[in-house]
Amino acid sequence: MNADVIVVGLGAMGSAACYQLAKRGARVCGIDRYSPPHTLGSTHGDTRITRLAIGEGEHFVPFAIRSHEIWRELESATGDDLMTTTGGLIMSAASSHSLHGSANFLQTTISAAEKFGIKHRVLKADEIAREYPQFVLDGTEMGYFEDEAGFLRPERCVATQLSSAEKLGAEIRLNERVLRIEKDGSGVKVTTDIGTYRGATTIISAGPWVGEFDLGAVAERFKVYRQVLYWFDVSATYEQYALGKFPIFIWSIGRFADDYVYGFPAIDGRDGGLKLASEEYETTTSPEQVDRTVTGEEAAKVFAAYVSGKLAGLGERCVRSAVCLYTSTADSNFVIDWVDKNVLLASPCSGHGFKHSAAIGETLAELALTRTNKIDISPFAIAS
């Protein structure tokens, strides 16, 4: 097959790129070793937080704003339920707590909201307690509330973009592993375990499998970490945590860098649990080696550290759990850049990329087809 663009990896970034390319009338071929959406990478677990003011840095904000527009456009075009607005609360006992490479995550969030005109409120601990008594506070907390924050349904987002791309003429090749990407005259040849494809440009958006490709020194910037998602028993206090009564939240505990818990409303009924998670960056892994079993001891430690004495009425029983992968850079930044003149890299995004993925897909399509782009990607260059 000959294509204008071949997209390797069809998770968050790849599915978005395929849709945006097909929408522009390009001949696009998307290839994935599995059948996304699946549970083996980073794009699963029912929900992902979305927010507009980005504490990781103001340079992310244009992606988040544009992504919200694209999600709503997709919902209107397909009728699929992709994004739910709940409001979002970011809290810290001290505004200087670090998170995702940002030394002052809360203040950076507030500054970004002010700069971009994002509707928000800054709250003191007593104001948070009055509005959301579900949180057990010690009185030193400061909060940021964003009206347009909420959650995305990652599996639905991926499936909707891939099906929309196919309807627009894209060829989607699933359960096919890419073996090599190499120069082919003025273009690129992609060899898989099933066939060979030629294109003018290839986009690599392979998530935690990015290390399998010849990317030179840039590949050394990525490390893969095992992360666990937990759903704790909410049956005794379900009404307090139900959709419409409780926001998405990010709470910096601050005992060490990236010491925080994030969570969602209880969206699956009284028996479905309330989803929350923290992050771990102690041991690297790979998609093939990662332990996907979650032990009772792990759940008990997370409950003791992030739930007990912090979220009123949640039960210690872990109703459900899931393992996913973060592929991160040292500073939690993204890499969106040309590896060479025909190969464009959209890196795994350090555990905070899904909210940006729709607009990143649009940017990848613009770059692949015209070598121009509307959103500034200079902070995401390989040399940055």
**318, 299 Cβ separation under 8 angstroms:** yes
Nearest to 203 by CA among 194, 215, 193: 215
**241, 265 Cβ separation under 8 angstroms:** yes
Give residue-wise pLDDT tens across range 259-273: 899 999 999 999 999
C-alpha pair distances (Å), 344 with each of 56, 124, 341: 24, 45, 8
Q: What's phi and psi for 260, nearest 5 deg?
A: -155, 165
CATH 3.30.9.10 fits 88-147+223-328, yes or no: yes
Longest dimension (CA), the chain: 66
CATH 3.50.50.60 fits 2-45+154-221+331-380, yes or no: yes
Nearest to 50 by CA among 91, 88, 18, 80: 88
What pLDDT score was predicted for residue 96?
58
CA trace torsion 45, 51, 52, 56 (10° rounding): -80
What pLDDT score was predicted for residue 95?
52
How far is it, in rounded angstroms, from Cα 85 to Cα 179?
A: 41
Three-point CA angle 239, 263, 56, nearest 5°: 145
**216, 339 Cβ separation under 8 angstroms:** yes
How far is it, in rounded angstroms, from Cα 335 to Cα 360?
A: 11
**113, 78 Cβ separation under 8 angstroms:** no
Task: Give me the average pLDDT of each 10-residue run along the chain (384 residues).
Answer: 95 98 98 97 96 96 98 98 98 74 87 98 97 96 97 98 98 98 96 97 96 89 96 98 98 81 97 96 93 97 97 98 94 93 90 95 98 96 83
Residues 6+ apart with CB under 8 A from 206: 8, 9, 14, 178, 212, 213, 348
Q: Does this chain's domain 2-45+154-221+331-380 share its CATH topology with 88-147+223-328?
A: no
Residue 66 identity: R
How far is it, in rounded angstroms, from Cα 12 to Cα 324?
A: 14
**99, 105 Cβ separation under 8 angstroms:** yes
Q: Tell if the pTM clears 0.85, that is, is over it.
A: yes
Mean pLDDT of the chain: 95
Give residue-wise pLDDT tens across range 198-254: 999 999 999 999 999 989 888 889 999 999 999 999 999 999 999 999 999 999 987
What pLDDT score was predicted for residue 317?
98
Burial-class residue 219 by CB neighbours within 10 Å (0-12, 13-18, 19+).
middle
Residues of the chain with pLDDT > 70, as a percent, come to 98
What pLDDT score was predicted for residue 348?
75
Helix, strand, coil fractions of the chain, as percent rounded to 5: 30, 30, 40
Domain boundaries, the chain: 2-45+154-221+331-380, 88-147+223-328
- Bridge-based pairing state of the strands 248-252 and 150-152: unpaired
Residue 79 φ/ψ region, left for φ over 0, alpha for ψ in the -120 to 50 degree band, beta for the rest = left
How far is it, in rounded angstroms, from Cα 72 to Cα 50?
A: 13
